Amino acid sequence: LLQLLDNYRPYNETERKFHQEIGDFVKANPSCFERSLLVGHVTASAWILDKTRTFTLLTHHKKLNQWFQTGGHCDGDSDVLNVALKEAEEETGLKKISVISQEIFDIDIHIIPERKGIPVHLHYDVRFLLEADMNENVTVSSESTALKWIPLSQVSEYNDSDSIMRMV
């Protein structure tokens, strides 16, 4: 991850800050890929585009009641691209997902609220750019209520957060 971060060029000032903070966090916490690190942990996400690169596949997160990219906990796996791919497959049912770039696409740090005895903590999210066929059947996972291919021009109607709009 540190090598990927070294190669990454932040998009804007917010990402420059995230870039520094994620690097510092990883260097200071050998168990940064474990969700048992209660102050926060590294997560990995996938920004999935169609072959024309005009649609993205978003999932409606059941617990948070919002539309997001797929992604999740590393659970000890330091290969964040592998985690992003695994999460994309598990959360969509897609079997033919390809990697557009092995480099980091986006980074984000966000607060996760307290839930079921797990304290408020941070997700240090590393995101990758993937591609899938819009015609392949998708399967909604237990973590979601829906999956939808959304034109990039309409993503803001589903989630207009800085985090999502930066990826658009």
Residue 100 has pLDDT above 90, yes or no: yes
pLDDT digits (tens, 9 = 90+) for 130-152: 999 999 999 999 889 999 999 99
Contact in structure between 135 and 94 (CB atoms under 8 Å): no
**pLDDT band for position 24 (50/70/90)?**
very high
Give the tokens for residue 161: 């957060």
**For position 115, what pLDDT does the model report?**
85
Q: What is the pLDDT of residue 116?
A: 86
CA distance readout (Å), 141 to 90, 94, 147: 7, 11, 9
Handedness of CA 18, 21, 25, 27 (dihedral sign): positive
Question: Given a cut of 90, is residue 126 above it in pLDDT?
Answer: yes
* pLDDT score at 143: 87
What is this structure's pTM? 0.94
User: pLDDT tens across 55-73, in order?
Assistant: 999 999 988 899 999 999 9
* Distance (Å, whole) CA 43 – CA 80: 8
First to last CA, the chain: 23
Is the pLDDT at 87 greater than 90, yes or no?
yes
